[in-house]
Structures are given as C-alpha cells and as structure tokens.
Homo-oligomer: A and B are copies of this chain.
Amino acid sequence: MLTIGKLSKATGVKIPTIRYYEQIGLLASPVRSSGNQRHYDHAAQERLAFISHARDLGFPLDAIRELLSLSDRDEHACATADDIARRQLAAVKARIARLNALQVELQRMLDHCHGGSLSDCRVIQVLGDHGLCRHDHGRAA
C-alpha cells in the first residue's frame, strides 16, 4: 500500500495531479487510512502509469478514459483502441505539418532582420502584413 507521495514518486505524476484525476473520475477513490489519508494498491499504480504514459503520448483525457473503459467489454476492444491511437497519430502528424510551416516562416523572417530601427524591422513588417508570407500558415490545420 502506497501513500499518495510514494505513488507520486513511483509514477512521476505530481500529487495534485493524482488528486485531480480522482476528482474527474479517471482514478477510483482509494481506501483511506484512519486519519483520512489515501492508500493505493498495485492496481491503482498500474492504472496511473497507463494514464501518465498515454498523456506523454499526447492522448487527451477523454481518449484515455475511453481506453480504460475498454477493459470492461473485451469484444473488438483492440480495434477501438487502434482507432483511438490512429486518430491521435493523425492529430500529431497534423500538428507537425503546421509547426514545420511556422518554423520556415519564422526562420525566413529572422533571416531578413538586421537590426536597426523599428521601421526597418523585418519581423514587425512580416507580422503586420500577411502578404509577405510565403505560406498560408493560418486558417488551415
């Protein structure tokens, strides 16, 4: 049995975050000691590790909630999990594409900045006039 502090150290999830997960129903309320302190078993630690790992991979809490609920009904669970992961991968890919476009734009902007006063500043100019951009970074994605 672990206290919340031990659990936090074991999983790398901060204490308020663990309590937050309990609050939103992602983690079951654990048993309490006589002095009202939370005590966690091994299953809770595994579940929290799962959550933490999925969060690291960028899964939103709702997706994680769904993944966890799959444990109940085993039928076609893998296909569903696969689908959730696939969507997450698509979202990551889209973000990468968008960030790559932004990176190019920012670099281009910086390459033409050579100090001087504000009126000559390429950074300010580019930000003020979308027409100076090579890409359609906004609006899409």
Contacts and interface: CB of A to CB of B under 8 A. Distances in A.
Query: Could you tell me the dominant secondary structure of chain A's interface residues?
Result: helix
A137 interface: yes
Given A81-B121, A92-B102, A86 B115 contact: no
Contacts of A100: 96
A70 to B, nearest CB: 6
A130 interface: yes
A130 B56 CA distance: 10
16 contacts: A49-B129, A53-B128, A54-B127, A56-B139, A57-B102, A57-B106, A67-B124, A77-B117, A77-B118, A78-B122, A82-B110, A82-B123, A85-B106, A85-B109, A85-B123, A89-B106
Interface of A: 12, 46, 49-50, 52-54, 56-59, 67, 70-71, 74-75, 77-79, 81-82, 84-86, 88-89, 92-93, 95-96, 99-100, 102-103, 105-107, 109-110, 113-124, 127-130, 137-139
